[in-house]
Structures are given as structure tokens and as C-alpha cells.
Structure 1
Amino acid sequence: MESWCLRLLLFLPLVCSVPSPSRSRHCRRCCDQPDQLPEVRTVINMTILKGDKGDRGDMGTPGKPGLLGPPGDRGPLGLKGSKGQAGAPGDPCKIPQSSFSVGRRKSLHSLEYYQALVFDTVFVNPFEHFNMFKGKFYCYVPGIYFFNMNIHTWNFKETYLHLMHNDKEQVILYAQPSERSIMQSQSVMLNLALNDEVWVRLYKRERENAIYSDNVDVYITFNGYLVSPTVT
């Protein structure tokens, strides 16, 4: 009897610890939320994924120009190039030119003061550098010029003329009074600047000063042309 009671005491805790079927369906852990399953999220590590190389994109718009940098050092001298071909001939119309040739058909007696010799006949004056109203040549092309004047003297009268550069006498054409009239000539080369004037001047001194011509032939001429333009 005593041994049977001891067996019963040992078996009793086992019986009490077996859960009933109705209770086992509602068993939850204290940390679980009732009636909610845990959310499962998929996380992909993008760093371990690498796709194929894409196509080259279009060129973008150019940016604003930067500031001008300092000049660099001068580079080494290059090799001498080969000789080029000869160029085409220049245009002759572009060569500076100036010329005139005028004459006078009327005789002239000088007055009591200096008097410019005016001409009435044009032989050559293509650029209108000689002013027929004033009897003066005006320099539009600086350089060295050649001038020449030819005069027919008058019987028994003095011939006294100066070729003038602006207001200064350059050369004289002179003939003493004579019973015979003769042709006289004078030439000179002058270095002219822009707007210089060249003209012929008469002047009456103690004796009468005159030059001869007629309406048929030309005895009085004045000529000039550019020999060499000034190189600038």
C-alpha cells in the first residue's frame, strides 16, 4: 500500500503538465501580436548588380568661355618653308600717277606786281591735278616730280619768270631784251609733299616783261609728271 501511494505521487505531476487539446490551439508567446503574421521584406543589394554598358549620349551644349589665360612662352623657331610660286602681275591702275601738260595761246604783259601765268589749252591733265583757273599744279601724290616750261620772248622786251614751289622761287627763266625773239626753256625736279603747289610767276621790274604767243600756234607750255612716289 505504501509503495502504491508512492507511485501515484510520482505520476501526478506528469498528468498535470499535459495540456488539454482545447487550450493548445490558443497558445501564444507573449511577444507575438495576436492574429498578425510577421511582415517579410525582400532586400536586394544593388551594388552587386551591374548591367550592360549603355549607348553614348548626345553632346551637351557648350559652356561659357573661360577667362583668357596668360600668354605662353614663345615656341622654338620652325624650319624654313619652301619657296612659293610667283604671284600674278599687279594692276597697273593702282600705281600712283600724276601728270599734266598745258599751253597758252595768248601773249601776256606783266603788271606792276607778281602775277601767276594762267594757261588756256590742255594737252594732258587726266587727274585734274592742274587747276586751269589758277594756273597751279596741286600735289595729290607726294614724291619727286619733273617740271618743264617753254617760253617765246618778245622783241625788245625782257622775259623774267620764276618757277615757284609754294611761295618760294626755285628756278628762273630769263632773257634780256633783243631785236630777235627766241624760245627759252627751263627744267627742274622737285620733291613735293601733299598739297604743295607749283606754278609760274611773272614780275615787272624796271623794264617791260612780256611773253609772246598767237591764236594759231602754241609758244608757251608748262609740263610736269611724277617720277617716283614717296614710299611710306
Structure 2
Amino acid sequence: MFDRLHLLSPVLLFLPLVIPVPPPGGASPAPCRRCCDDLEPQEGPPAPQTGDQKSGLNQMPEVRTFINMTILKGDKGIRGDRGTPGKSGEEGAPGSRGPMGPKGTKGQAGPPGDPCKTQDAAFSVGRRKSLHSVDYYQALVFDTEFVNLHGHFDMFKGKFYCYVPGIYFFNVNIHTWNFKETYLHIMRNDKEQAIVYAQPSERSIMQSQSLMLPLELNDEVWVRLYKRERENAVYSDDVDVYITFNGYLIKPTLE
């Protein structure tokens, strides 16, 4: 360090000494002026000087920045993705009932139900024509329907079909023919269950037979006229019903 100062000392001796020299005539130098000093002073008492002005220091004016946001506004951005839906709110109170609409058209009939689910059965049929025995057994066919609940009695075959298993009651009423034998059977499937019989007589009479039968699903109950080897017949006419066949379910079988 000492060596560096020793080398710089001769250089410092030759540096010029700058001393301000007053102008000739002894006149004092003109004070500095600003460009705005030429303006005439405002009327009225002079404004009070602050401490900085009294001390000879010039105070800078306050600068406030103003930004025009309309100039800085950019273009509209792309719409963002839809957010996840929030939780459902509480269920509101039910609204008032609206007015009744117009009556609709009648719909089509539905398919037939399962007959096994029907818990009742009944029929009552009659015959208006006489019947004579022939060379073979005949099923007594009926032409008048009084009651045929659910269609369980087949009018073309003269047979009742069991669709509801259970205990049934059956009854047959016939009118005998003068001087002819009356010989019929109440049949369950192909087996005789009870006979309706009357001997030949000069007078015709009403004859009846009743019984109860336990039936299973699809059993058939019908009335059979005996074949010709025993001359027999039943009487009726087109005016009155002399022959009737009735049956109904008393108690269904519980599965």
C-alpha cells in the first residue's frame, strides 16, 4: 500500500488547482434563473415558505400516476370448462294439483288370465230339445246358458272343466218320457259317479239327482245318456226348459 502512494505522489503535484475567479470590476455574479421565473407573480400575499424553501432547497412537485384501464383491457378469453355440479338441494313442497285432463279412449282387452288363480266357479245350463238313445253313449249337450262363470262350462261339448281344484256340488234335473225308460249317468272324466233313473210309466215325471265331488285340475264333469240296448229318452220342448244341469265350487283346495 505504501509503495502505491509513493508512486502517485509526483502525479498529484502536477494536477491543476481550479479556483473560481470573480469577474472584473468586482460585480457579483448573476443568480441562476429558471425558465418559469419570467412569469409574473400571482397577486396576493406571498405563499408561506416551507422549511425546505427557507433553507434554500427546491421542492419537486408531487407526481401521481393515472392508468386508463380501457386501454389496457384485452380480448375476451375462451370459455372455461364447466365445473362439477353441486349437491342437490332439499326437496320442495308439492305443488298444487293441476286440472283434470280429458278422458282417454278405451284400451284393448287384455289377455285371459290364468284360470288356476280364479278362486270361484259356477254354472247353470238347460236344454229345450228332447233326446232319444242311439247305438252309442251320448253326452247331454245344452242349448241354454243361465250362468257360466269364467266360461268353465263348454256349451258345445256339454262338459264342465275344472280350473279351480276343490269340492264341487252338482245337480241334474230331467223330465221323463211316457212309457220310456230314463237312464243317465253323472260322469267324472270317463267314470260313472251317480245315476239318474226312472222306470217306464204312462205318466211323465220330473227326476233329479245331486252329489258333491272332489275335483282336480282339468277334471271333466258331464251327463251321459245310456245307449240304445235299453230304450230310454228325456223329454223337453221349445217353449219350456225341462232339463237343467248345475254346479258350483264349495271350497277350493289349498295348496
- TM above 0.5, yes or no, is yes
Report what 1:4 is aligned to: none
Q: Work out which of the residue numbers 165, 169, 172 in structure 2 matches 1:149.
A: 172
> What secondary structure, in the 3-state scheme, does the structure 2 residue paired with 1:127 have?
helix
Structure 2, unaligned runs of 5 or more:
1-116
Shift of 1:204: 2.5
Aligned with 1:103 (options 115, 126, 133):
126
**1:220 maps to what in 2?**
243
* Structure 1 letter corresponding to 2:210: S
Identity of aligned residues (%): 81
1:159 aligns with 2:168: no
Within 5 Å, which residues of 2 pair with 1:164-183?
A: 164-183=187-206
Alignment length (residue pairs): 141
Contact persistence 2:134–2:228 (CA under 8 A): no
Matches within 5 A, 1:71-220: 96-220=119-243
What residue number does 1:8 align with?
Answer: none
Deviation at 1:126, TM superposition (A): 2.3
Report the counterpart of residue 38 of structure 2 in structure 1: none
Give yes or no for contact 2:135–2:229 (8 Å, CA) kept in 1.
Answer: no
- Contact 1:112 1:203 (8 Å CA) reproduced: no
1: CA distance, partners of 2:135 / 2:163:
32
**130-139 or 207-216: bigger deviation:** 207-216
Larger radius of gyration: 2
Structure-1-length-normalised TM-score: 0.59
Alignment of 1:52-67 (within 5 A): none
CA–CA distance in 2 between the matches of 1:223 and 1:186? 11
Matched with 2:23 is none
Taking structure 2 as the reference length, what is the TM-score of the superposition?
A: 0.53
Per-residue Cα deviation, 1:113-164 (whole angstroms, up to 9, x for no partner): 1110000000000210000000000000000000000000000001000000
Aligned-partner Cα distance in 2 for 1:222–1:107 = 15
- Counterpart secondary structure, 2:149: coil
**C-alpha distance after superposition, 1:177-223 (max 9, x if no partner):** 10000000000000000000000001135331100000000000000
Query: Are 2:228 and 1:230 equivalent residues in the alignment?
Result: no
Q: What is the DSSP-based 3-state SS (H/G/I as helix, E as strand, rest coil) of the residue aligned with 1:195?
A: coil
Deviating above 3 A after TM superposition, structure 1's stretches of 4 or more consecutive aligned residues are none
Give the Cα–Cα distance (whole angstroms) in 2 for the partners of residues 207 and 162 of structure 1. Answer: 14
Counterparts of 1:95 and 1:199, CA distance in 2: 21
**Counterparts of 1:156 and 1:202, CA distance in 2:** 17
CA RMSD of aligned residues (A): 1.5
Unpaired runs of 5+ residues, structure 1, are 1-93
The one-letter code of the counterpart of 1:229 is P
Q: Quick one: distance in 1 between partners of 2:141 and 2:118? A: 30
Q: What secondary structure, in the 3-state scheme, does the structure 1 residue paired with 2:141 have?
A: coil
